[in-house]
Amino acid sequence: MKMRISALTALCLTVLFCGCAKGDEPVLKDAFAKQFLMGAALNDDVVSGKDAQAAAIVEKHFNTITPENVMKWAVIHPETNRYDFAAADRLVEFGQKNKMFIIGHTLVWQNQIPDGAFKDDSNNLLGRDAMLGRMKDHIFTVMGRYKGKVNGWDVVNEALSDEGTLRKTKWLETVGDDFIVKAFEYAHEADPNAELYYNDFSLDKPAKCEATARLVKDLKAKGLRIDGVGIQGHWGMNYPSREDLQAFIDAMAAAGVKVMVTELDIDVLPSANQYRGADINVKVELQKELNPYANGLPDEMQKKLADRYAELFGILVKNADKIDRVTFWGVYDKTTWLNNWPVRGRTSYPLLFDRDYKPKPAFDAVIKTAPAK
């Protein structure tokens, strides 16, 4: 009897200290429970039940989700007078069923939006007032539907250039310089309890970082709500530098907002060009040398990727008081957007789970950066 009790005690201790039963992998959201929420962007196959193995990973490891595509204007509001909520509803139901923190992505963006959204019935570009009316209708309709269910919104996405100026988009052209201000104003009116974020890539670049800090301060000075800035985290093996990432985190803290790492993936493939952002309009032709790991990632590269993840998570953990959330842009390598950008048809390896849904060495490396509880 005595032996039986001590064996049981040993098992309990193992479970307690490892945070998992024998043979089972550690759980990301538990490992970082005291640091930040851990999340993933989901496509419709994950929530609809078509990709049940991916759904199982999400249910086990993540406590926050972002729709990869289904809340974008082109999907949820395909024609001026027609909304289609079917896929977005599925995602929200999935998140609610699993008690997850749900992010709405995204309300105001220049991509994945029909051209017609900016035009009148005669195909002319709308004027400022008409376009603001359309923006407001979109924000109120989409946020209104998910009020109290979606917890935070990427209100404006990718409005800044790498030089820190406003990008030349249809939003800027139709509404004018204050389209970001108006979007945040409407979003807060539509759901006063929702967290509101500005989201962009390459925010570690000094000029863009400074422009973002200015934007945050300007919104706050106007009395508007902004809770956080999402740094997309489409990162590479040698960017961002530790210093630039730290400078961005510090700049956001000084501006009075939380940092969210919103679209994390690390590209191990050779660069197709000099460009290192995430603008989906950048395209490069497929050439064999750009796709060197079509038959699998060599161990040496797995290790390099794991080391790079460890380096970046080390910085995130050190700054956990300034960071609310870390969201991967996808669940596993087979369905990452990087298989098709900037080159279509490559075999990419940017996430923590491989094509067979198995955790990679990068997964273990990330877990190891979690502080002891």
The residue ranges that bind ligand G3I (CB under 6 A) are: 68-69, 72, 111-112, 157, 232, 263, 278, 280, 337
Look at the block and give the residue holding tokens 């690390």. 266
**What is the separation, in whole angstroms, between the first and last Cα of the chain?**
32
CB-nearer residue toward ligand G3I: 151 or 157: 157
Separation of alpha carbons 285 and 192, rounded Å = 46
Report the residue number, 216 or 338, with the smaller CB distance to ligand G3I: 338
Is 158 a known active-site residue?
A: yes
Q: Which is nearer to ligand G3I, 329 or 361 (CB)?
A: 329
Whether residue 196 contacts residue 152, with contact meaning beta carbons closer than 8 Å, is answered with yes
- Asked if 28 and 61 count as a contact pair (C-beta separation under 8 A), the reply is yes
Which residue's CB is nearer to ligand G3I, number 11 or number 280?
280
The residue whose two tokens read 């195909």 is: 123
Catalytic residue among 158, 285, 289, 300: 158
Instruction: Give me the least distance between CB of 339 and ligand G3I, in Å please.
Output: 10
Q: How far is the CB of 248 from ligand G3I (least distance, A)?
A: 17
* Counts of helices then strands in the chain (DSSP H, E): 13, 9
Between CA 272 and CA 270 the distance in angstroms is 6
Q: How far apart are CA 163 and CA 166, in angstroms?
A: 9
Q: What's the min distance (Å) between Cβ of 199 and ligand G3I?
A: 7
Q: How far apart are CA 165 and CA 149, in angstroms?
A: 34
Sequence-distant (6+) residues with CB within 8 A of 151 are 101, 102, 103, 194, 195
d(C-alpha 325, C-alpha 40), whole Å: 10
281 Cβ neighbours under 8 A, 6+ residues apart = 111
Identify whether 68 is a catalytic site residue: no
Q: How far is the CB of 54 from ligand G3I (least distance, A)?
A: 15
Nearer to ligand G3I, 217 or 355 (CB): 355
Q: Tell me the closest approach of the beta carbon of residue 263 to ligand G3I, in angstroms.
A: 5
> How far, CA to CA in Å, does 231 sit from each of 59, 215, 248, 329?
24, 14, 9, 12
Closer Cβ to ligand G3I, 211 or 338, answer by number = 338
Active-site residue, selected from the candidate residues 263, 285, 289, 311: 263
For the bound state, the minimum distance from the C-beta of residue 300 to ligand G3I, rounded and expressed in Å, comes to: 28
Cβ–Cβ under 8 Å, residues 323 and 36: yes
Tokens encoding 131: 């376009």
Per the DSSP assignment, residues forming a β-bridge with 156 are: 108, 198
Instruction: State whether residue 147 is helix, strand or coil.
Output: coil
Question: Tokens in use for 44?
Answer: 């419709």
Q: How many CB atoms lie within 10 A of CB 210?
A: 14
Residue nearest to ligand G3I (CB): 337
What's the min distance (Å) between Cβ of 111 and ligand G3I? 6
Neighbours of 165 (CB within 10 A): 12
CB closer to ligand G3I, 232 vs 327: 232
Active-site positions read 158, 263
